[in-house]
Structure formats: C-alpha cells, structure tokens
A = this chain, B = another copy of it.
C-alpha cells in the first residue's frame, strides 16, 4: 500500500504541474493556477469514485492529495514569476507533455486497481474503461476549463497509451502482484506517449 501511495503522489504532482503550467500559459492568477492544478490532479479520481459509488470521493476524505497538488502548483508558479525569461514556450510545452504522460500512466493503473479493490475486478470491460477514465479524466477537465481542445482528441496516441497501460496492468497483476504491475503498466503508457510524440505516430484521419 505504501508503494501505491508513493506512485499516487508522484502522479498527483505530475498532473498538478501540467494543470498549473496550462493555467500559467492562459494568464490565470495564482489561485486559478492552484485550482487548475487540483482539478487536473484530482478530477480523474473524482470521476472514478462517483462511477464506483464511493462517496464522499477520496479527494475529500484524504486531503493529502489536494494538499500535494496545491504545493506542486505553487512551486510551478513561483519560477514562472521570476525566471520566465529563461523558460520559453517550448520548454513549458515539453514539461506539460512529460508531466501529463507520467500522470496518465500512473492514474490509469490506479483506476484499474480501484475497480478491483471495489470488488468488480472480474468485469474486464469495467476495469479497463474505468482505468482509462481515471487516467484521462483530469486532463480532459483541464483542457475544457482552459478552453483548449482536449489533448485526448488531438495528441498522438493518447487514449491508446492509457488503454495499453490498463491492459498491461490488468494481465500482469495476477502474475506480478500489484506494485510491479503498476510500474509496468505506467511505464508502458509513458513509453508509448514518448515514442508516439517523437516519431509522430498517428492514427488514420478522415480527409
């Protein structure tokens, strides 16, 4: 459980940073930056808990996640005030990209794990889709609130990467136990995202 908690905190920080920097790019003020950080980091988990019937959602019963997201957002905000002449737009874009990939990988496997903990693990379809929803939910909220087209619809192989990570976790967990399976699933998602961006993989589009 401690290892899962550590992974969750890493995912929370990563998603909070991606939300905070998106907010900074949109010229939001300090509180807006924190709210966007919290919403991005915790939004997927609130969807997950509502769809599992777990109320109040963990966000509210264990404040550590929101507190972590707040601190991460503030830290992301501070250098933006002072040293923004060092950081160019493409640096921000790259940080958002990597933080988002890491959060996506971790929260997808956390989501599949939550379905199993709630006793629905034998429902393959529910496990995989709720994993993907947990992974992508925060980012979709971030993009809708910022007025951007959601990442999931424009970035290379975004939901695919979450889907692959969810499948890896689902099938690896009985063999490897929870924590190694989480690492494996998260890594697969992050690697697919990086490769897809680097080689400009994309799925077919209609003309």
Contact = CB atoms under 8 A, between A and B. Distances in A.
A154 to B, nearest CB: 7
A144 interface: yes
Interface stretch (A7-15, A53-61, A185-193): A53-61
A136 B153 CA distance: 22
Interface in A50-107: 50-53, 55-57, 59-61, 63, 66, 77, 80-81, 84
A157 B52 CA distance: 35
Q: Is the interface of A mostly helix, strand, loop or mixed?
A: helix
Contacts of A5: none
Which of A52, A53, A60, A80 gathers most chain B CB within 10 Å?
Answer: A60
A205 B35 contact: no
Given A51-B57, A60-B126, A125-B60, A77 B206 contact: yes
Nearest to A153: B32
Interface in A106-143: 120, 123, 125-126, 129-130, 140
A152 interface: yes
A31 B159 contact: yes
A46 to B, nearest CB: 8
Interface of A: 23-24, 26-33, 35-36, 46, 50-53, 55-57, 59-61, 63, 66, 77, 80-81, 84, 120, 123, 125-126, 129-130, 140, 144-145, 147, 149-150, 152-154, 157, 159-160, 202-207
